[in-house]
Structure 1
Amino acid sequence: MKLSYVYILTNEYRTTFYIGVTSNLKNRSIQHFLGEGSEFTKKYNIKYLVYFEEFTDIKQAILREKQLKNWRHDWKINLIKQQNPLLKTLDL
């Protein structure tokens, strides 16, 4: 069974968020940190992992990613704070 992840990255000031989906969270986090993840994350210096969810079905992960991308900014912050109250960078 291959796992998939929905993840949220942010910048140093925790003001801008990026939501993505991947099957290899560690490698994808490293790519973003090195500025190789996407043009958006590179442009806004978004490279700090603050939240992720694990899925056994990639289709469910993609649906969750789309759902979260439509959420308001404050909803995303509240979701992150449920598991990471201080919005600290997560280590994998």
Structure 2
Amino acid sequence: MEFTVYILYSKSADKYYVGYTSMGIDDRLRRHLSNHKGFTGRIKDWELFYFEKFPEKSEAIKREKEIKSWKSKARIQLLTKQ
């Protein structure tokens, strides 16, 4: 099974969301855009900003935590410039 660490961006909220999934990224994005309780359910313009694939769940969780620990929009934005 493959795991994906992904970053979503909302222009209207000027926010990033970092997560991981074993689902297809398109399916996961649809769920974020659906009506549900929680942070991402309130915002309706999420777009996929960045993603990385991992063969192991533990690697994906480690990378997700690393990115979340940055707490920096500027550093997240640098990911697409690599």
Structure 1 or 2: larger strand share? 2
For 2:62, the aligned partner's letter is L
Which residue pairs with 1:86 in the alignment? Answer: none
- TM-score, normalization by structure 1: 0.75
- TM-score, normalization by structure 2: 0.83
Higher RCO structure (Cα 8 Å, ≥6 apart):
2
Partner-residue secondary structure (3-state), 1:21: strand
Instruction: Report the alpha carbon displacement of residue 33 of structure 1 after superposing the two structures with TM.
Output: 2.0
Checking the alignment, whether the CA contact within 8 Å between 1:32 and 1:46 is kept in structure 2 is: no
For 1:22, the aligned partner's letter is T
Which residue pairs with 1:82 in the alignment? Answer: 81
- The aligned length equals 80
Partner-residue secondary structure (3-state), 1:29: helix
Q: Distance in 2 between the 1:46 and 1:6 partners?
A: 19
